[in-house]
Structure 1
Amino acid sequence: MSDNQKQGSESLFADTTLAASDPELVEFFGNFVDDEVRYEPGANHPDMDERTRWMAILAALLGCQGHEAFALMTPKALDAGLTPVQLKEIVYQATAYLGFGRVLPFLGIVNHLLADRGVNLPLERQSTTTPETRAAAGEQSQIDIFGAHMRGFAQTGPEETRHINKWLADNCFGDYYTRGGLDVRQREMITLCFLAAQGGCEPQLTAHAGANLRVGNEQRFLIAVVSQCMPYLGYPRTLNAIRCISEAAAKAA
């Protein structure tokens, strides 16, 4: 084992008992994640700095409901430069794509961790809308991300399900995407990770892969993002995500 590999396996699981109970897994998984995946050229990109890499990994762990792994990795993300506001925004936005029931345990993990680090809660407000402006702001966000065809989308569709389109505009985009803390490229990237990680959302995943391309996250970057998340998602969902990215890129070409 190289010195880098040894440091990788040790650093990844330094705060667990796994090194004693499962040393073989710690060795080969830790080496794979912290050495091979981390530095693989195909899994990297000029836009893939350490903070971005950790954003993607944490979003993927939220999506796949990896509570213990999320608790293990979040301190490393903060040590790598992720801010408390960015961390909270990742968790908040997950609510729109995973549901409050699945996100609540992660919010507890984050709050305990930040409190242990002496961070005063609540953090500074990041909302930029009011109850009166959220619908219009959300629609504008949809237009900016997906294109002009989203204008008036909230009022379209079958009458019995039209309220969902309205909620997408005023809640999903008006309440979440308009917040501070993360820019639109970061928000679309973590959305891609939420969708890739939970599986069964391929139509939405393809749509948001296209949205990522529109806001400036190029295909190679998206493949790098998914590749960095692969150890936490497994190969099937990773390959599904890459297929969706490729389909979106082909459509955009």
Structure 2
Amino acid sequence: MQAQINGGRNQGLDAKQQHIVPIATFTAKGDLPQLNQTLHKALDAGLTINEAKEVLVHLYAYCGFPRSLQGIKTLMAVVDARKTKGIIDKVGKGATPVSDSGSKYERGKKVLESLTGRPETSPKTGYAAFSPEIEIFLKEHLFADLFTRDIISYADREIATISALINLGGVEPMMQSHMGIALNIGITEAGLMQIISLIDAHGGKKEAEVAKQVLAIVINSRKK
């Protein structure tokens, strides 16, 4: 878990992380032709097949299965097309098997605590109180199943998540929450601005303007 967190401590996005932003952007938008081109560029830049696939798998938690599955099918087509041209891309490592046999809920809770930097001890409120079953699903599946897959780091997952949320629109509270998590695990303000700039550069000017406003709120709240 600590290694996952340490993976986010940098001054900006590294070369591979810069490709995660457009992958998440076009997956969220369902723009498969642009996603196809983006995946070619990401593989050329050294992203492994498993890393690209893991980003697309992760995104189903935020974009839904339809967008995620279409993204995975697009990656399959890209890999096959490259093979016909004699390009053999690196598959990359798989996920390390989970050795913790304890409660999946408790495991997910620990992951969430490491992301937010806050203990999960308060009485359930809001959606968690209204729909306790979805709170369980979030802990057991999103945080215990998905986040513990170490093919990509926590930072990579938050970059993908924030990029998708910016492009989905209308989910500013979640965007604000995940920007706070990103800062907590070591992604800098400069890194978050880089995500927004990349989305702007890929045709999301309106979405980027909203994201800038949300980031300003996050930064101001942390200063207070």
* TM-score normalised according to structure 2 size: 0.82
Shift of 1:124: 3.3
CA contact (8 A) 1:63 1:194 kept: yes
Q: Does 1:249 align with 2:219?
A: yes
**241 and 232 in structure 1: CA distance in 2 versus 1, 3 angstrom threshold:** same
Distance 2:202 2:55 in 1: 17
Query: What amino acid is aligned across from residue 110 of structure 1 in structure 2?
Result: L
Identify the range of structure 1 (68-77 vs 229-238) with the bigger mean alpha-carbon deviation: 229-238
Shift of 1:245: 1.3
Query: What amino acid is aligned across from residue 69 of structure 1 in structure 2?
Result: Q
CA contact (8 A) 1:202 1:244 kept: yes
2:14 aligns with 49
The alignment partner of 1:244 has SS state of helix
Distance 1:156 1:239 in 2: 28
C-alpha deviations, 1:197-238, integer Å up to 9, x for none? 111110000010111110111112101111012133521110
The alignment partner of 1:102 has SS state of helix
The 5 Å alignment of 1:15-26 reads none
Shift of 1:185: 1.4
**78 and 121 in structure 1: CA distance in 2 versus 1, 3 angstrom threshold:** closer
1:135 aligns with 105
**133 and 88 in structure 1: CA distance in 2 versus 1, 3 angstrom threshold:** farther
Distance 1:187 1:66 in 2: 20
1:181 aligns with 151
Q: Does 1:230 align with 2:200?
A: yes
The 5 Å alignment of 1:91-240 reads 91-118=56-83, 124-126=94-96, 128=98, 133-151=103-121, 160-240=130-210
The alignment partner of 2:214 has SS state of helix
Query: What amino acid is aligned across from residue 138 of structure 2 in structure 1?
Result: L
Shift of 1:108: 0.6
1:81 aligns with 46
Structure 2: segments with no counterpart, 5+ residues: 1-9, 84-88
**78 and 165 in structure 1: CA distance in 2 versus 1, 3 angstrom threshold:** same
Query: What amino acid is aligned across from residue 18 of structure 2 in structure 1?
Result: R
Larger Rg: 1
Distance 2:137 2:184 in 1: 23
Identify the range of structure 1 (120-129 vs 201-210) with the bigger mean alpha-carbon deviation: 120-129
Shift of 1:157: 5.6
Identify the range of structure 1 (99-108 vs 150-159) with the bigger mean alpha-carbon deviation: 150-159
CA contact (8 A) 1:60 1:193 kept: yes
Q: Does 1:58 align with 2:23?
A: yes
CA contact (8 A) 2:17 2:159 kept: no
Structure 1: segments with no counterpart, 5+ residues: 1-44
Which structure exhibits the higher relative contact order, with contacts defined as CA atoms closer than 8 Å and separated by 6 or more residues?
Answer: 2
CA contact (8 A) 1:129 1:178 kept: no
2:86 aligns with none
Number of residue pairs matched? 209
The alignment partner of 2:202 has SS state of helix
Identify the range of structure 1 (198-207 vs 115-124) with the bigger mean alpha-carbon deviation: 115-124
* TM-score normalised according to structure 1 size: 0.73
- How high is the sequence identity, in percent, across the aligned residues? 21
**221 and 160 in structure 1: CA distance in 2 versus 1, 3 angstrom threshold:** closer
**148 and 49 in structure 1: CA distance in 2 versus 1, 3 angstrom threshold:** closer
The alignment partner of 1:150 has SS state of coil
